[in-house]
Every structure is written in structure tokens, then in C-alpha cells.
Amino acid sequence: MTQLTHIHAHEALALIDASSGEISIAELPQTLVAVFGEAARFNACSARGMDVNQLTQFFIDRNKIVVRDGRVYLNRANACSH
């Protein structure tokens, strides 16, 4: 049985911010798995237990990230500061 690892969504946002557009939207889920592991589940203030695909959609829906020319960038205006 695989033990789930719970990670705050801010860690994924920090990774996106540090990448400075090097990650494509198509690559984002695979990149998150590569960094945080297959068993990672992400928690945010308003959602818990998200897998990488759910987290990606959460970021898009909440306008936490912007996609320009297929590349992912942090939307600083909507990033939490806590």
C-alpha cells in the first residue's frame, strides 16, 4: 500500500514561480509528479487531497497561474502571501 504524501499547494506554486516559464501546461502534471512523487496529494486553504491533475485545474480555475504561449507562470496578483 502506497502512503500518500500531503503537500501544501504553495510548494507547487513556488516551483512554478522558480521555473520562470520553463514548464509547459502540458508538462505541469508530470513535473509535479517528478518533484513531489506519484503519491503526493496537495492541500490548499479551500481544497484538500488533490492529485496533480486536480491541482493544475485548481490553479487555473483560481487564476493562480497564467499560461502564455503554452508556458506556465505564477500569477503574482492572485498568489497567497500566508
pLDDT at 74 over 90: yes
pLDDT of residue 4: 81
pLDDT in tens, 2-46: 678 899 999 999 999 999 999 999 999 999 999 999 999 999 989
Name the pTM for this structure.
0.91
Three-class DSSP labels, the chain: CCCCEEEEHHHHHHHHHHHCCCCECCCHHHHHHHHHCCCEEEECCCCCCECHHHHHHHHHHCCCEEEECCEEEECHHHCCCC
Helix axes 28-36 and 9-19, enclosed angle (nearest 10): 120
pLDDT at 71 over 60: yes
Rg of the chain (C-alpha set): 12
Q: Which three cell numbers stand for residue 69?
A: 504561449
